[in-house]
């Protein structure tokens, strides 16, 4: 069993920054790749970023490449998402998840999810 708790969301103006955190417990965190997804009202959950177990490889959606950075601290069992140059279209609930198998880009490949944190970007 794994528990994931996201934090760091909030309301920010366009062009601003936020850093999301995802604290994990209950499993050997450093053994697994992690991902961030987001879901806006009326839309499907979409991939944002993923990071390999040791942080050596990262993957991003085209829509956030160059603006968002995923990182992890295995000593703290935490994964981060630094979001810069935020846009109103980044408004969504952001979720972190543990990657189990398959494509990093497919939410079906993740088997544990946090409760989500709301990010709202005003224009």
pLDDT, tens digit, for every residue of 47-106? 999 999 999 999 999 999 999 999 999 999 999 999 999 999 999 999 999 999 999 999
Query: What is the rounded average pLDDT for all residues in the chain?
Result: 96
Residue with tokens 């109103």, as numbered in its chain: 88
Query: What residues does 69 pair with on adjacent strands?
Result: 82
User: What pLDDT, on the 0 to 100 scale, is given for residue 97?
Assistant: 97
Q: Looking at the predicted structure, is the pLDDT value of residue 27 above 80?
A: no
Burial of 117 (0-12, 13-18, 19+ CB in 10 A): buried
Q: Looking at the predicted structure, is the pLDDT value of residue 108 above 80?
A: yes
């Amino acid at each position: 069993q794994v528990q994931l708790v996201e934090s760091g969301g909030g309301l920010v103006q366009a062009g601003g920054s936020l850093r999301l955190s995802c604290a994990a417990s209950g499993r050997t965190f450093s053994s697994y790749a992690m991902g961030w997804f987001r879901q806006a009202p009326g839309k499907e959950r979409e991939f944002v970023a993923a990071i390999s177990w040791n942080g050596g490889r990262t993957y991003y959606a085209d829509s956030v490449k160059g603006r968002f950075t995923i990182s992890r601290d295995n000593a703290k069992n935490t994964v981060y998402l630094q979001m810069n140059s935020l846009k109103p279209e980044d408004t969504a609930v952001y979720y972190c998840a543990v990657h189990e198998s398959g494509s990093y880009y497919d939410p079906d490949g993740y088997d544990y999810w946090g409760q989500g944190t709301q990010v709202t970007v005003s224009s």
